[in-house]
Amino acid sequence: MEERKPDVKPACLLLIPLLALSAGAFADDPLATDIDEARGLTRQLVQELGSALKAEMAHGGPVQAIAVCKQRAPEIAGALSRQSGAHVGRVSLRTRNPLIGQPDAWEQRQLADFDRRAAAGEKPDTLEHAEIVDEPAGRFFRYMKAIPVQPVCLACHGPEQTLAPAVRERLRADYPKDRATGYSVGEIRGAVTIKKPL
């Protein structure tokens, strides 16, 4: 029998370095195809959002970048959701926009587990989880990939006292219920979440 060579996916991303695992590593895993698809969607979301953030930071600084997260991030996630047939989004235990970033009970458990695993010494940029879940609405493939805080994130997510006054003002105006400040580099900011009906 011919040995199948693994297809290694690149892991270079602006905001979330994805764990580069070969498809062959999951050859016996019934979730292998779903995991590969979820990783691909995660990469695409992060790359598109990262490019938009990088461009806006260069053009208008962190104040302008806030608009990218507010407007472009949901647009990108929505387009990926429509293309894939899965729900693609970002969630956090400390939400900036509770209307679109509030985790459900399954996501809350995974985020808490990511925090626990990071505190135990696992690298935040390697944390991911996938499983099939039976819910009242049906059976779903669910996947999450941790979003670790990078140095560039601190301009809008760092300790309140270190944020530029214009950034604080814009956050108060755009996100009156914001809970997404006070982070340090390497902490778990949240996660990309993917939910696909089976």
User: The domain that contains 87 carries what CATH number?
Assistant: 3.30.450
The structure's pTM equals: 0.82
Of the candidates 38, 52, 12, 35, which has an alpha carbon nearest to the alpha carbon of residue 192?
38
Total domains in the fold of the chain: 1
Q: Is 139 part of any domain?
A: yes
Q: Is 55 part of any domain?
A: yes
Looking at the chain, the whole-number percentage of residues with pLDDT higher than 90 is: 72
Q: Is 181 part of any domain?
A: yes
Q: Is 42 part of any domain?
A: yes
Looking at the chain, the whole-number percentage of residues with pLDDT higher than 70 is: 86
pLDDT tens per residue across span 138-195: 999 999 999 999 998 999 999 999 999 999 999 999 999 999 999 999 899 999 999 9
Q: Is 16 part of any domain?
A: no
Tokens 């089976």 correspond to what residue? 198
The structure tokens listed for 27 are 């050859």
pLDDT tens per residue across span 33-54: 999 999 999 999 999 999 999 9
Domain that residue 63 falls in: 23-197
- Give the pLDDT band (50/70/90) at residue 25: very low
Q: Is 130 part of any domain?
A: yes
